[in-house]
């Protein structure tokens, strides 16, 4: 059992994340039974009657990261907030000393004068200077770049392919395209460690699955929310 110490802020965040992770239905990843819950030894965790005890971070993007849950949540919120402030416009207004300005580069791409591969490569390089690059985010939160990269890679495994080969761009596109509740719900969905997810797609036993949102009513205030469920899809 984990001996990790949690602050009050950590515990508050765990309670909130538990709702996004399980919604109104807890499904045991070991035995598959639903809502057969007894008291968990984890803060806001779920313990099945088969004795499998699952913490809130387990099987989510927060799993196996050495940063505190408060810091990880803060990083996610920081990335989400900044991505929604038109990150592409941020890129177009930086690095004026380049041989071609970002704005001129974007215009040339729109005219078909630059290939998509070259466009993605150059924009990816410029993306390092934005507020939500791996390097900049690590500096803001005073953590190792590898911790941010691990978090970004876990996010990347859950999101649909945006067509870019650059990790920073894929992450920024995802957070910019959806609201906070949508993003957090998808990122908190429990995915088995032995399943191989690739850009939001799971292929298993000859079938293809994606995680899709389904509406439900939050018990405490009857406010509608989104519960994420695994759904078989056609290729």
Q: Is residue 22 part of a domain?
A: no
Q: Is residue 138 part of a domain?
A: yes
Q: What is the DSSP letter of 113?
A: S
Could you tell me which residues come within 8 angstroms of residue 216 by beta carbon, excluding any fewer than 6 positions away? 23, 24, 224, 225, 226, 227
Q: Can you give the residue range of the structural domain that contains 174?
A: 69-184
Per the CB < 8 A criterion, the answer to whether 210 and 202 are in contact is yes
Q: Is residue 87 part of a domain?
A: yes
When comparing pLDDT for 142 and 27, which is higher? 142
pTM for the predicted model, two decimal places: 0.76
Q: Is residue 34 part of a domain?
A: no
Read out DSSP for 41-110?
A: SSTT-EEETTS-EE-SSTTSTTTT-SS-HHHHHHHHHHHHHHHTTTHHHHHHTS-TTSSS-HHHHHHHHH
Question: For the chain, what percent of residues have pLDDT higher than 90?
Answer: 18
Give the pLDDT confidence of 200-210 residue by residue, as tens digits: 888 888 888 88
**Which pLDDT value is given to residue 69?**
92
How many domains in the chain? 1
Residue 97 has pLDDT above 80, yes or no: no
To which residue do tokens 């802020």 refer?
A: 9
Give the pLDDT confidence of 127-183 residue by residue, as tens digits: 666 667 888 889 999 999 999 999 999 999 888 877 777 788 788 888 888 888 888
Per the CB < 8 A criterion, the answer to whether 172 and 83 are in contact is yes
Q: Is residue 6 part of a domain?
A: no
Q: Is residue 7 part of a domain?
A: no
């Amino acid at each position: 059992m984990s001996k990790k110490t949690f602050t009050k802020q950590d515990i508050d965040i765990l309670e909130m994340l538990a709702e996004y992770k399980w919604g109104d239905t807890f499904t045991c990843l070991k035995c598959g039974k639903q809502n057969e819950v007894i008291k968990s030894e984890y803060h806001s965790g779920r313990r099945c009657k088969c004795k499998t005890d699952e913490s809130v971070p387990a099987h989510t993007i927060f799993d196996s990261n050495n940063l505190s849950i408060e810091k990880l949540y803060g990083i996610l919120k920081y990335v989400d907030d900044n991505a929604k402030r038109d990150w592409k416009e941020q890129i177009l207004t930086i690095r004026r000393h380049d041989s071609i300005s970002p704005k001129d580069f974007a215009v040339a791409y729109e005219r078909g004068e630059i290939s998509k591969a070259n466009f993605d490569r150059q924009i990816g390089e410029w993306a390092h200077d934005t507020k939500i690059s791996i390097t900049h985010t690590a500096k803001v939160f005073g953590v190792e770049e590898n911790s941010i990269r691990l978090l970004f890679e876990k996010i990347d495994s859950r999101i649909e392919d945006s067509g870019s080969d650059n990790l920073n761009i894929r992450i920024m596109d995802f957070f910019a395209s959806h609201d906070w509740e949508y993003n957090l719900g998808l990122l908190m969905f429990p995915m088995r460690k032995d399943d191989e997810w690739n850009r939001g797609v799971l292929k298993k036993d000859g079938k293809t699955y994606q995680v899709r949102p389904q509406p439900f009513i939050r018990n405490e205030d009857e406010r509608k929310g989104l519960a994420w469920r695994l759904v078989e899809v056609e290729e």
